Structure 1
């Protein structure tokens, strides 16, 4: 499913005719291919097998499309280029999407079949960048949504304790606790049995929010060991709270496009990449939504993204949800990019490491 946002614009006062729709689609398509403004004479020749239109008629239609703000007229050229509204029309009117070829499919499987889950997600950003030639981005899932499968309490010394949280999707988190008195091995065994009976098969966030109530019913409530746990609950769960990470790959790719040749545009690329909070916010906007979401230029809340398009989708890691996406110039092959994002997100969700 493709989630298609559209620009709300006061100029949407009428529907385009079928001929206008076809011509607008061709203008955007040609501009994506050639990165140069599309002129009426060239366009007339390009579509002459589909419809016979003189350059004069074509100019009139293009003028109407410009009045409706689907295309614009650069000062240095007689041709037209798409506006954000024009790109949005193009994306919304896509009827088919390019498939990945055998080499691309092999590259995805080879890249995403290596390493643990953290490396897998880093590799996902790399394959997104490699296939798209844009920025590939992966936001790691919130560990707080993962289900606890087992809790191990391992005594390291008379006062030191290792807590091992075994989560779904083969995630392991450990934390060391230091008691102010000797740990009783009998209490440790009893607490281990008690918390595993009550905390397994529940998400981390539930345990953090309800641990005090859960442990209050225990006969061990007043033991030093339980007090240690209760006082250390923030430390135990700090790792999942700070686990919101983003991995970006393909930075050099954007510099190959004419849109980013000027120093000002180059600076904008660097600022975007360095501001991880912006990236996280962009990807957070679709948390838990299905399908592929496309945002173009001014549709982004942040002005930093006004020159870019973002294609993004969610993936599942057990009960947790992460986000992948790619960022590139608005002049991109949307049909192919949508396929890449959808395929990689589906692959991550189905990968054996997550089950």
Structure 2
């Protein structure tokens, strides 16, 4: 944090000239990774009013005093701080548009995404696409299965008192589970239980179905209802695993950070890699991003110390939610250094999220 001794008060905001100079510093540092000096700023601001080198140096000093830039070495130029990047993102980038090359690359990938039926394979492809296009870490987060709406269930009797459970969720996501039966059940009984569940609970989440079955079983008149008891037993075995799931995370391109000079500190790099490999931590981080405003389809940008996870304090994380037709949410994201290409990555993540949303909406119509 910046000490407030003789520095500008934290409420100080750059005027138009300071904003132009800050933008020049941010863009140059994103492009080169090097500290930016006043001469470079003068060249980048050639289209602006002809400011003297002394004026530019004074403004850069004001920006440093206010915490928007810092000087890594006494004789070096300035680099943006996380506060500087935040101001740049919030005030100085226009509505993000995808470059033509990105649009073409995504268009080529759309056909493969549209044709993919396996949800795990789909998420793997999406995370790879994000990583490939940004040269950073691509992340795809699928909604928790327990929150998905059940469209159809089937039970198939197997040997050794086991059964295969086929769960079909909107939008056309299919899961198979093997369960062990506590009591012998004929295929006819399994079919009756499936018909009951499909008739009574289609379109409801696994959590809601299980809760309602338990409520019905507690009613006195239901104590001797064999069909209800068998349906509840099957759901208990079939849904228990899904209820524990908190969404799956697919990560691609973690090796890309090894090429970034921003992560030259080995211990910081190790901790970042550990975080990217640990599913539960990533789920928690992504859920924190979604919790900020999950209903607005808004891109969320966490910069530097805004990230609650210590391993991400030198990173920027750009995420966009996508909605499943049943109302649950997943998310896509890119993790990279703070000097990430904000305009391009914001547009790219949001665009791919909308494609995924459209795919799931179209699939749900066909269910």
TM-score, normalised by the number of residues in structure 1: 0.88
- What's the secondary structure of 1:322's corresponding residue? strand
The 1:340–1:354 alpha-carbon spacing in structure 2 relative to 1, beyond 3 Å, is farther
Match of 1:295 in 2: 302
- For residues 277 and 186 of structure 1, what CA distance do their matches in structure 2 show? 40
Local SS of the residue matching 1:169: coil
Specify whether residues 48 and 179 from structure 1 end up closer, same or farther in structure 2 by C-alpha distance, changes over 3 A only.
closer
Structure 1 residue 306 corresponds to structure 2 residue 308: no
Whether contact under 8 Å (2:193, 2:230) holds in the other structure is no
Report if the CA contact (8 A) 1:41-1:55 is conserved.
yes
Q: Which has the higher helix share?
A: 2
- The count of aligned residue pairs is 348
Q: Distance in 2 between matches of 1:281 and 1:252?
A: 22
Q: Report the counterpart of residue 105 of structure 2 in structure 1.
A: 104
Counterpart of 2:264 (choices 261, 265, 271) is 261
Q: What is the CA distance between 1:106 and its match in structure 2?
A: 2.7
What's the RMSD between the two structures over aligned residues? 2.7
- Aligned-pair distance for 1:310? 0.3
- Distance in 2 between the 1:133 and 1:185 partners? 52
1:92 and 2:95 are equivalent in the alignment: no
Query: Cα distance, 1:186 vs. partner?
Result: 5.7
**Partner in structure 1 of residue 349 of structure 2:** 341
The answer to whether structure 1 residue 278 and structure 2 residue 294 are counterparts is no
**Whole-Å Cα distance in 2 between the matches of residues 143 and 150 of structure 1?**
14
Distance 1:160 1:224, change over 3 A: farther
- How far residue 75 of structure 1 moved from its aligned partner, in angstroms, is 1.5
Give TM-score, length-normalised by structure 2: 0.85
Cα distance in 1, alignment partners of residues 107 and 49 from structure 2: 41
Whether the aligned pair in 1 keeps the contact of 2:140 and 2:250 (CA below 8 Å) is yes
The within-5 A match list for 1:108-187 is 108-115=109-116, 116-156=118-158, 159-183=161-185, 187=189
Are the aligned partners of 2:167 and 2:174 in contact in 1 as well (CA < 8 Å)? yes
Report the Cα distance in structure 2 between the residues aligned to 1:135 and 1:349, rounded to whole angstroms: 21
For structure 1, the 5+ residue unaligned runs are: 1-8
Q: Does 2:205 align with 1:206?
A: no
1:23 to 21, 24, 46: 21
CA distance in 2, matches of 1:13, 1:328: 29
- Change in CA separation of 1:60 and 1:203 when aligned onto 2, cut-off 3 Å: same
Q: Deviations over 1:121-164 (max 9, x none)?
A: 11000000001110000111111222222222333369444433
CA contact (8 A) 1:149 1:168 kept: yes
Closer, same or farther: CA 256–175 of 1 in aligned 2, 3 Å: closer
Check the 8 A contact 1:111/1:124 in 2, yes or no: no
Q: Which moved more, 1:93-102 or 1:46-55?
A: 93-102
Residue in 2 that maps onto 1:54? 52
Q: Tell me, yes or no, if the aligned pair for 2:130 and 2:137 is still in contact at 8 Å.
A: yes
Larger RCO, structure (CA 8 Å, separation 6 or more): 1
Q: Report if the CA contact (8 A) 1:108-1:344 is conserved.
A: no
Alignment check: 8 A CA contact 2:154 2:191 kept: no
Distance in 2 of aligned mates of 1:146 and 1:236: 14
Aligned to 2:30: 32
C-alpha contact (below 8 Å) 2:142/2:330 kept by paired residues: yes
Flag structure 2 segments of 5+ consecutive residues without an equivalent.
none
Report which stretch shifted further, 9-18 or 327-336: 9-18
CA contact (8 A) 1:37 1:77 kept: no
Looking at structure 1, the residues matched to 187 and 108 of structure 2 have their Cα atoms a distance apart, in angstroms, of: 51
Aligned-pair CA distance for 1:278: 2.5
Query: What's the CA shift for 1:227?
Result: 4.0
Match of 1:4 in 2: none
1:3 corresponds to which residue? none
Which of 242, 245, 265 is matched with 2:248 structurally? 245
Corresponding residue SS for 1:202: coil
Change (3 A) 1:142 1:100: farther
Give runs of aligned pairs for residues 217-232 of structure 1, distance below 5 A.
221-222=223-224, 226-231=228-233
